Amino acid sequence: MFEKIKSNLIAGIATIVPLALTVYVIQVTLEVTIWIGGTVAEPLEKFVDVTFPGFGLLSSMVGLFIVFFALIIFGALARNVIGKRVVDWFESIFKKIPLIDSIYGTTKQIIETLSGSQTDSFQKVVYIEYPRKGMWTLGFVTGESVNETNEEFYHLFVPTTPNPTSGYFVIITKEDTTPADVDVEEGFRMIVSSGIVGSHKNSIVK
């Protein structure tokens, strides 16, 4: 009983905390945008009449542009050699801290999934009967191969829910798979949300 409660608690934390952090980041971004908009409003008064009906919107748009520009600059720095080393150093610290490791990893995965930056290495999505016949899950095709009799196989990554940073690598014959009617990005959203987000129809045929 205790183990079941513990497992449910951990699953709840792994699901809610990353989502809450994501919402918090969005909220902070909006607050920073509004603050920057208010800061640039004073210099704008020299060029735009403050009684202009769209003055507040204009200052907010300028603030939003500055935030986006800063994110682009930060992203460019993070992708070069020195910046990547700094990011990797911070990530290595987070990975050594219990709970923070799980929260950071899951949150990063959610952001990368929603942005589509983590799905480029997957070719398509298929259904497979796993972990037993009669139960279906999503598999992401990472490659293909053939054996000496020219039988064709898929290389699949089968992620865990709700944290798709872990999972299983399986090699399965193509005939034992069913093409899914979702793209890679939507498939990952289904995994992250434990099936809450995604299509309510499937192509599974018994």
Q: How far apart are CA 206 and CA 204, in angstroms?
A: 7
Element (H, E) at 177: strand 177-179
Tens-digit pLDDT profile for residues 69-84 = 777 776 666 666 666 6
pLDDT tens string 135-189? 999 999 988 999 999 999 999 999 888 777 678 899 999 999 999 988 888 888 8
Q: What is the pTM of this model?
A: 0.48
Domain ranges of the chain: 2-115, 125-192
